[in-house]
Amino acid sequence: MAATHSTRMLILGSGPAGLTAAIYGARAGLAPIVVQGIQPGGQLTITTDVENYPGFADVIQGPWLMEQMQKQAEHVGTRMEWDHIVAVDLSQRPFRMIGDSGNIYVGDTLVIATGAQAKWLNLPSEERLKGKGVSACATCDGFFYRGKKVIVIGGGNTAVEEALYMTNHSHDVTLIHRRDSLRAEKILQQRLFAHPNIKVLWNREIAEFIGEGTPEGLVAADLRDTTTGAIERIELDGAFVAIGHVPATELFKGKLEVDADGYIPVTPGTSRTSIPGVFACGDVMDKVYRQAVTAAGTGCMAALDAEKFLAEADYEAAPAAHEVEAA
Ligand code: FAD
Ligand code: NAP
């Protein structure tokens, strides 16, 4: 049976932004509910080594870090809901959302921390061969390519890390980048260039992935030279698309101001969105930094902004406890 969950602070997303907002919200007595979405723990759960989150002298693992954040949020009084929001009504307070489960979530304030999703090349052959040789997550699928030939597409931190990660499984890794320089951090570039099992093909993009067999599986890719337009075919077993992420804001289009790139704009120096009582934090509002630590930082800001909003709000708020009613 569907249930209605009410809270003073409803948080969508369980990445570093959402969980940090939850820690601060819970400690402020707001009994937050976090709706985790289809990727509990967010993007860091699909990576391995995290070397730049402050506080750890040793290299830590992304999934472990997110587990710790979740435990900390729960420990101070957050309730986690394993659900994915599919509809939102922001036209009046309290705000009302519907989950994939059919459950209803009602929040006096809403913190949007829905982060970002992997970008794809949008080729018909990519769509057809997803899960059949084409992937957007080396740490999830890399194991299937032990001893095989793989390519990684992209020139940012993710692509370089995915290429380095794939050397755990494969001796033949090629990074394909559309320009002649990478945008990845220098320290990652140095590791990439020094690795004997990685080669880089500059100024190339994927024209089409090539599949064969029944059921069809990836066997090659046609690469286009971005300077001459020439096409060359290379044989391969796996391709990892690592060309960045797009903010997860489909749900809010037409209901809340969203910019041309899909990000949620906030009043500078705050987490306030175009609707009073709705706050945004993390990658969903940040097209510049997009780091775990900045997501956590803006998550803190969102919780503090929501707390201030509630203190100043002129309407009867929900009690400071998680409320559940049968619908
Ligand atoms: P996300 O981590 O994207 O989390 C979004 C959350 O929203 C998820 O829990 C998802 O399930 C939820 N959600 C989405 N839609 C809905 C919905 N409709 N209803 C409910 N919930 C929803 N950063 C670093 O600082 N160091 C690193 O080493 C590093 N490595 C990375 C490696 C990879 C492979 C990738 C992809 C990113 C890496 N980053 C790294 C970047 C970092 O992961 C992000 O900046 C950070 O996770 C953003 O946090 P977030 O909370 O804003 O969003
Ligand atoms: P990104 O920095 O946006 O890089 C995307 C890369 O893909 C760029 O090199 C871009 O090429 C290329 N690209 C984009 N669209 C393409 C297309 N259609 N065809 C071919 N190539 C395309 O994305 P990211 O690497 O996923 O990183 C996202 C954020 O997470 C960044 O802020 C990054 O710092 C952070 N992150 C941090 C770490 C870390 O700290 N260790 C690890 C991973 C990610 P151009 O260069 O030509 O634009």
Q: For 180-216, how does the pLDDT look when each residue is reduced to its tens digit (9 = 90+)?
A: 999 999 999 999 999 999 999 999 999 999 999 999 9
Q: Distance between CA 327 and CA 324 in Å, rounded?
A: 9
Q: What is the pLDDT of residues 63-109, one digit of tens each?
A: 999 999 999 999 999 999 999 999 999 999 999 999 999 999 999 99
245 lines ligand 2 (CB under 6 A): yes
Q: What is the mean pLDDT of residues 241-259?
A: 96
3-state secondary structure of 188: helix
Residue 154, ligand 2, Cβ within 6 A: yes
Average pLDDT on 243-261 reads 95
Under the banding of pLDDT at 50, 70 and 90, the label for residue 49 is: confident
Instruction: Tell me, yes or no, if 300 is annotated catalytic.
Output: no
Which residue out of 89, 140, 180, 259 is catalytically annotated? 140
Question: Which token pair is 32?
Answer: 């937050």
Question: Rounded mean pLDDT of the chain?
Answer: 94
Q: Are 278 and 256 in contact (CB under 8 A)?
A: yes
Does the structure show a pLDDT above 80 at 267? yes
User: How high is the pLDDT of residue 46?
Assistant: 86
For residue range 220-244, list pLDDT tens digits in order: 999 999 999 999 999 999 999 999 9
Q: Are 96 and 104 in contact (CB under 8 A)?
A: yes
Q: 243 CA distance to ligand 2 centroid (A)?
A: 5
The letter for the amino acid at 63 is P
**What's residue 318's pLDDT?**
53
**Strand 238-241 and strand 149-153: pairing?**
parallel
β partners of residue 198 = 173
Q: Where residue 325 falls among pLDDT bands split at 50, 70, 90?
A: low
Q: How far is CA 48 from the centre of its chain?
A: 15
- Site to probe by mutation for ligand 2, drawn from 183, 263, 283, 286 as the one with most ligand atoms within 8 Å of Cβ, is 183
Can you tell me which residue has the tokens 């080396």? Answer: 138
As a whole number, mean pLDDT of residues 1-22 equals 96
Rounded to an integer, what distance in angstroms lies between the CA atom of residue 141 and that of residue 134? Answer: 10
pLDDT value of position 117:
87
Q: What are phi and psi of 70, to 5 degrees?
A: -65, -45
pLDDT digits (tens, 9 = 90+) for 146-189: 999 999 999 999 999 999 999 999 999 999 999 999 999 999 99
Q: What are phi and psi of 173, to 5 degrees?
A: -115, 130
* Lookup result for tokens 């929001």: 85
Looking at the DSSP assignment, which residues form a beta bridge with residue 118?
245
- Percent of residues, the chain, with pLDDT higher than 70: 96
Nearest-ligand number for the alpha carbon of 242: 2
What is the structure's pLDDT at 316? 55
* 8 Å CB contact between 327 and 4: yes
First to last CA, the chain: 7
pLDDT at 47: 82
Residue 31 has pLDDT above 90, yes or no: yes
- C-beta atoms surrounding 242 within 10 Å: 25
Contacts of 43 (CB under 8 A, 6+ apart): 15, 115, 116, 245, 283
- Does the beta carbon of 16 sit less than 6 angstroms from any atom of ligand 1? yes
Give the orientation angle of helix 186-194 with respect to helix 157-166, to 10 degrees: 30
pLDDT at residue number 24: 98
Domains and CATH numbers, the chain: 4-117+245-326 (3.50.50.60), 120-241 (3.50.50.60)
Which pLDDT belongs to residue 319?
53
* 320 confidence band (pLDDT: 50, 70, 90): low
